[in-house]
Amino acid sequence: MPKIGSVSLDNPYILAPLAGYTDLPFRILCREYGAGLVFSEMISCHGLVYDHDKTHKMLATHQLEGPVAMQIFGAEPDIMAEAARIVSDHPIDIIDINMGCPVKKVIKKGAGAALMREPKLAEKIISAVVRNTSKPVTVKFRTGWNHHTITAPSFAQMSENAGAQAVTVHARTWSDGFSGPVNWEVLARVKNQVNIPVIGNGDIKSHDDGLEMLRKTGCDGVMIGRSALGAPWIFSPDYPIASMKIRVKALIRHLELIERFLAPDRFLGKVKNHASKYFKGTPRSTVLRRHIFDATSFQELIDLIRSLLS
């Protein structure tokens, strides 16, 4: 099993950071279903340093989810360093630096995948974060900016030299966004280039897909993002086929965690979005999703889902 600095993982399957989704309840749920490590949503270094209440609330954690990595993003070494110091005061296990987000508003600020075009600046950021925390630091990036500039192997080596204790590589370029074919061959090249753990990411749709990635690339871990939404059992080999009963039980547990850790009626739209994903691809999907979105309160929603068990 992979070890990131002093943090040992009991499963090489890892929950990816997903904006709007990987909040505390979902992270705990994925840990309960076997994820070896869970990642927070992407957190703005500026929001932390300038004390934005909403941003600080994203640092909420609980012993049920450990080990947990908090992912920060930004393009200024000094502000990223200060954000790392703030995050380190919380009971978290790993700090991850996002250098792979392809979203335009992040790229325009020189953060996310834009840093793959500025390796010297990226190196300064990693070094600054490492100096300001006692936690292991990891970096997440892509295979390159586009298919003419596949720089992941050298970027990984730079990250290791700057003090990163693991890297995650999304097997697509910035120009691919979230679609197009993944390139596992680059993951294998990265693995051969560095002496720290390498986590592969991109288009893992089942537990077996993850095993194939590990086998073909030599990666130490496999990160799963969108395919875990509405399917937290993907981290375990115990659920090759998710019956309706398995789906409903997982969703009920998810709703229980939301009720415990969030103000569910304040975030009802977000909760419904999560709930609807549990029935994707099932024969009753359209009807169930309509009932979910018709619910006018959290209590009505949870009553509806509980009724499905009978």
Active-site positions read: 101
> Tokens for 195?
């002496």
Report whether 156 contacts 198 (CB < 8 A).
Answer: yes
3-state helix, strand, coil in the chain (%, to 5): 50, 15, 35
* CA gyration radius, the chain: 19
Q: Torsion angle of alpha carbons 112, 117, 121, 126, nearest 10°?
A: 50
Helix/strand/coil (H/E/C) assignment for every residue in 183-199: CHHHHHHHHHHCCCCEE
Peptide bond into 67 cis (omega under 30): yes
Beta-ladder partners of 198: 167
**DSSP secondary structure, 271-298, as one string:** HHHHHHHTTTTSTTHHHHHHHHHH--SH
**Tokens 């003419």 correspond to what residue?**
148
Report whether 182 contacts 159 (CB < 8 A).
Answer: no
